[in-house]
Amino acid sequence: MNFGQLKIGTRVAVLGGVMSMALLAVGGTALWALKADEAQFEACAQKAQNFENAIDLARGAQVAFKIQIQEWKNTLLRGGDPASFDKYSKAFVKEGEVSVAKLHDLKRVMAQLDLPTSDIDEAQAALIDLKTKYLDALTHYDQADPDKGAHAVDKLVKGMDRPPTTKIDGIVAGVMSSAKTMQAQAVDVAKARMQSAIWGMLGLVVLALGAGATAAWLILRSITDPLHQAVSAATEVASGNLRVAIHAEGEDEVSQLRAAMGKMNDSLVRVVSQVRDAADMVSHASSEIASGNMDLSARTEAQASNLQETVATIGQLSTGVQHSADHAAQAQDLATRASEVAERGGAVVNDVVQTMNDINTSSRKISEIIGVIDGIAFQTNILALNAAVEAARAGEQGRGFAVVASEVRALAQRSANAAREIKSLINASVECVDRGGNLVGEAGNTIAEAVQAVRQVREVISEITVAAREQASGISQVSQAIGAIDNTMQQNAALVEQAAAAASSLQQQAQALQGSVSFFRT
């Protein structure tokens, strides 16, 4: 039987069935033996009962004959009167009949026991002959002279009771001897049957134990051998050898376990290969990222240095333009003394309008710059998220890089949040500027007539003033934009350094992951 095609529970059930059948065979044999012994015991008991009846009948005949002889003696010794004579003589006849009857019953029982009955026939004939001769001799009894009559009768039958006595005694002894012989034979037969039953039971028990042990050994081998093979394969896989072949034969639970281990080993080979390829790609990509970050850091530092020089040059230009604006203002003051209120009002309105426009323009430019910063932060966040995903795939080996990627992502998120807050403030400032522009428009309408009166003088000086102020405002805006760019460049430089450090850590983790994956041999 191929136990590999059976479930383990079915195998155990088969073993239980074998043991149950063996137990039933032993129990059935024992029951059969008990039934046979019961029949033999009943036969022996019946035979013993027959012997007991035979002994009782033989002894009864013996006792009846002795009583008969005693009644004969009573007749001779105590039969002096007719009544006594008649009493004892009848008792003599009666006891003789009892003795013969018991011998007759004894003959029937002896025939049932398959014992010879010739002695009984002889004894019966002797008793009948004895009775006849005793009764014939009794006719010579003289009741007128009992003592003389008794002496004469006794002389006639003297010695006649010895042969029947001997025969009856012999019958009793023979029956008792046969009973003892039967008892001894019954004991021998019982011992022989008991010995045979014991050896038969021992043989069946040994046979049942052998069958059960064989079935248990076969079932145990069918379970332990595949388990040993599975443990050996698992040990090979645990040592890093993924080349081990795990075959599943059969449909039992162990075969299912080995099939699952084979699938697990195939999946592990595929995953290790994917992790090894991913580790190689991460290592290569981190090397390129580190190299690119180094170049970007160098270019960023150079741009920051150039930008600082530009800031210094713009500062000097702003100072010169400011002086020009001051001189233009003094000229404007001299030109507007004739109509101080109108000129000042027009100048104020123009300044406010111009300032509002400049602020609006600068705000929009700064908003655009912040949008660029927000985009940079978003891209940085995406890169950090990708790095965190790759670190998560790397498992325990990528935990350190995951922490760095999380920190980079947090910095990018804070930069994006700060950029959005600044953009919100700038949008609010633009709205304020729009409202201020509307108010300035109303003020301009109010002093339009006054400004018209001094238009010619204002046009000459206003052009100079406006040009100077525009230059100063433009330079100021450029200075602010450059300052914002400088701050952004410094932040970018810091981020580049962090990214470089993260890329270096990522490269180290990737190399460590490669070393860990190299433990498996596929």
pLDDT single digits (tens) 441-459? 786 787 677 557 757 867 8
Interval 315-321 mean pLDDT: 72
Residue 347 near residue 332, CB atoms below 8 Å: yes
pTM of whole model > 0.75? no
pLDDT at 331 over 70: no
Collect all residues with Cβ–Cβ distance below 8 Å to 404 and sequence separation of at least 6: 387, 501, 502, 505, 506
pLDDT at 377 over 60: yes
* CA–CA distance, 422 with 370 (Å, rounded to integer): 8
* CA–CA distance, 293 with 58 (Å, rounded to integer): 134
Q: In a 10 Å sphere around its CB, with 0-12 CB exposed, 13-18 middle and 19+ buried, how is residue 167 labelled?
A: buried
Interval 378-388 mean pLDDT: 83
According to the model, what pLDDT value does residue 1 have?
62
According to the model, what pLDDT value does residue 106 have?
92
Interval 401-406 mean pLDDT: 78
According to the model, what pLDDT value does residue 2 have?
63
pLDDT at 210 over 80: yes
Q: Most confidently modeled of 16-25, 201-210, 349-358?
A: 201-210
According to the model, what pLDDT value does residue 67 have?
92
Collect all residues with Cβ–Cβ distance below 8 Å to 100 and sequence separation of at least 6: 61, 124, 127, 128
Kindly report the average pLDDT of the chain as a whole number.
79
According to the model, what pLDDT value does residue 101 have?
92
**Cα-trace Rg, the chain:** 70
Per DSSP, 204 falls in state H
Instruction: Flag the least confident range among 1-5, 95-99, 279-283, 470-474.
Output: 1-5
Domains of the chain listed by start with CATH number: 19-197 (1.20.120), 280-517 (1.10.287)
Per DSSP, 447 falls in state T
* CA–CA distance, 115 with 111 (Å, rounded to integer): 6
Interval 324-348 mean pLDDT: 71
pLDDT-derived band at 325 (thresholds 50, 70, 90) equals low
pLDDT at 315 over 70: yes
pLDDT at 183 over 70: yes
According to the model, what pLDDT value does residue 345 have?
66
pLDDT single digits (tens) 212-260? 889 888 888 878 877 787 788 788 878 888 787 777 677 777 777 777 8
More confident residue, 83 or 292: 83
pLDDT-derived band at 206 (thresholds 50, 70, 90) equals very high
According to the model, what pLDDT value does residue 142 have?
66
According to the model, what pLDDT value does residue 103 have?
92
According to the model, what pLDDT value does residue 20 have?
85
pLDDT single digits (tens) 2-52? 666 667 777 777 777 877 887 888 778 878 877 776 776 677 778 888 888
3-state secondary structure 254-265: HHHHHHHHHHHH
According to the model, what pLDDT value does residue 473 have?
80
pLDDT single digits (tens) 102-155? 999 999 998 888 888 888 989 898 888 888 888 888 777 766 666 776 777 777
Residue 258 near residue 229, CB atoms below 8 Å: yes
According to the model, what pLDDT value does residue 335 have?
61
